[in-house]
Structure 1
Amino acid sequence: MKAKFTGHDTFPLRYGWLFKAVNHLNSNGNFSSSDEESIRHSIVELGVGKNMVKAIQYWAESSGIIESDRKNNKTFHNVTKNKGHFLFGDNGKDPYLELHGSIWLLHFWLNFNDEHLTAYRYFFNYSNVQYFEKSKLIDDCYEDAKRLVKSEVGNITTIKKDMDCFLNMYSKKVKSTAKKIDEDHFTSPLAELNLLQDNGRSFYVSNLTERPELPIEVFIYALLEFFKVETTESKVSTVDFDSLLTKPCSPGRIFRLSEAGLGQKLDEAQQHTKKEISWVDSLGLRQVNISESVKNNTFKYLNDYYGKSNV
């Protein structure tokens, strides 16, 4: 894993940016930091300043909506089939993120990554705090990053900026005087998930809970994606409950599920898949079984969700 605490120029992800990124590439645009003509074209097409162009590229790459490819010493970008085209393409399932499940899915894509460590991936995959002060989380991230990554971590100021961006992106700030939600902080769709609450004075809360608002189809997709990674080199059909709850990149970690919450989601998954996904919890043994018919069919359940949902 490498450190990647820069790239967004402190701009949190905003509504419409990923759709803009996909449209830009689909209309023969490109993201480039070295080709002045390409930069000017991106500024005009996306309708934002140069720094925001970089931020749009960063969030599109970090979520897997686009990917880079280097040819003849030039970097080109493509829209990914299973993410970019699936959600934001011409026939995308929800290009304007009007469905709550799409935001949960985007959250999973952003954090299901063990190649690059960022402030948000650190929090959702490695931090164990539920109540914290920003300065302490920054210090923890800095110290843990030196242990987790193979590359240079950089200085703590860089991590602070990335942490500020993450906190602004995921939390709705409350004005201490009026006790009302500040409208300025509705610009990021990820704040709608309510995974992080800003209590003011740099104190935050992020409870582990049951998440009834998380669509079961998105949970099943995340479970199957995690299972594929966990069993890459084996042919087992089971995964340990505790791994699903606490391992980095697991559904329990990324969705901030409590132990009871994960059990509840597994009950729902068992019912939804007619026991193609099942689990046992007896005599200290807690295991989840995945049948062969669904192992490599992760997008089936997302298609079920978008098929039944009305925007």
Structure 2
Amino acid sequence: MKAKFTGHDTFPLRYGWLFKAVNHLNSGGKLQTSKEEETQQAIIKLGVGKNMVNAIRYWAESAELLSSKRSQSNIDYFTSENGDYLFNTDTGKDPYLEQIGSVWLVHFWLNFNFQHLSAYRYFFNYSHVQHFEKSKLLSDCSSDAKKLVTNDIGNESTLKKDIDCFLNTYSKKFKSDAVKKKLTIDEEHFTSPLTELNLVTDNGGGFYVSDLAERPELPIEVFIYGLIKFAQVETKDSNINSVDFDSLLTKPCSPGRIFRLSESGLGQKLDEAQEYSKGGVSWIDSLGLRQVKINDEYLSNPLAVLNKFYGATS
């Protein structure tokens, strides 16, 4: 892996940014260019400042909504299958993130990454803490990242900014009762959609909570999609369409890790997946052997289960 603790210019993900990135590109716009005129066009069309254009590109690329290729002095960006699947104005399943399942899907896309390590990917894939101070997370991330990446992680100030950005992206700011009474406009209306998932809670004073839980609010289709994507990686070098329970619970980029599932929560999701898929996903928990099997139809087409989710709720 390579460290990637910069690129967002300290701006957390915001509502509408991913939609803007995909459809700006689809309409012929540019998100990174050495030409001042094209940069100004992006600023005008996206309705943000130059630094925010960079942040929009960062978050869209991190969620794998964009693909890119280098041409001369520029990097040319194009929308990916993920980007068009969810955010395309004409064909996207939920371009405005009106369904909570779509937010869970964006969360999964952001963190299902074996190539680049950021503060949020470190937390969801490698950290073991559930109750933590920001300073402790900084220390842990700095120490562990040096073992996980092949390049320089940068200075502590850079890492601290990335952790701040992660926490601002996933947790609503703590407000005392006195402050809440003074607010006339709900500032959280403008915060990141990922705060809706309640995966990280700001308790004030630099303390945060992120419990492992059962996640009944996580749609089973999104869980199965994450399960299949992980299983594709785990089984790619074998002819076995199964993965063990502990891997699903604890390995980096597993659904247990990314969705912050407890052991009982993962078991419940697998029970639900088995019933939902009518055996397309099945698992056994007997005599200490816990294995999950996914049939070829499911394993070869993870988007099919998402299509069922959007077909049933749109």
Q: Provide TM-score, normalisation by structure 2.
A: 0.96
Deviation of the 1:127 alpha carbon: 0.1
SS of aligned partner of 1:75: strand
Aligned partners of 2:147, 2:266: CA distance in 1, in Å?
29
Amino acid at match of 1:34: S
Instruction: Tell me if 1:184 matches 2:187.
Output: yes
Output the CA distance in 2 between the equivalents of 1:180 and 1:283. Answer: 53
Q: Which of residues 274, 281, 286 in structure 2 aligns to 1:282? A: 286
Shift of 1:179: 7.8
Describe the superposition over 1:176-229 as per-residue Cα deviations: whole angstroms up to 9, x where unpaired.
234859832341000000001000000000000000000000000000000001
Question: Percent same amino acid among aligned pairs?
Answer: 64
Where does structure 2 lack aligned partners over 5 or more consecutive residues? none
Q: CA deviation at 1:98?
A: 0.2
Output the CA distance in 2 between the equivalents of 1:16 and 1:101.
16
1:290 Cα shift? 1.0
Q: How many aligned positions are there?
A: 309
Q: For the residues of structure 2 that align with 1:43 and 1:281, how far apart are their CA atoms?
A: 55
Aligned pairs for 1:125-140 (under 5 A) are 125-140=125-140
Of 262, 266, 270, the residue aligned with 2:270 is 266
Aligned ranges for residues 143-154 of structure 1 at < 5 Å?
143-154=143-154
RMSD, matched Cα: 1.3
Which residue is equivalent to 2:12? 12
Q: How does 1:1-311 map to 2 (within 5 A)?
A: 1-81=1-81, 83-89=82-88, 90-178=90-178, 180=180, 183-186=186-189, 187-310=191-314
Contact 2:249 2:255 in 1 (8 A): yes
SS across alignment from 1:225 = helix
Q: Which amino acid aligns with 2:164?
A: D
- Asked if structure 2 preserves the Cα contact closer than 8 Å seen for 1:210 and 1:264, the reply is yes
1:168 and 1:185 in contact (8 A); partners too = no
> Which stretch shifts more, 27-36 or 247-256?
27-36
Unaligned runs of 5+ in 1: none
Pair 248,179 (structure 1): closer, same or farther in 2 beyond 3 Å: farther
Indicate the larger mover: 21-30 or 125-134.
21-30
Given that 1:174 and 1:180 are in contact with CA atoms closer than 8 Å, whether structure 2 keeps it comes out as no
2: CA distance, partners of 1:37 / 1:141:
40
Q: 2:33, 2:75 within 8 Å by CA — same for their partners in 1?
A: no
Q: AA paired with 1:108?
A: F
Q: Deviations over 1:128-168 (max 9, x none)?
A: 00000000100100110101000011011101000001001
Instruction: Pick closer, same or farther for the CA change 1:53–1:290 going to 2, 3 Å.
Output: same
Q: Which amino acid aligns with 2:87?
A: F
SS of structure 2 residue aligned to 1:172: coil
Q: Secondary structure at the match of 1:213?
A: coil
Cα distance in 1 between the residues matched to 2:11 and 2:118 = 14
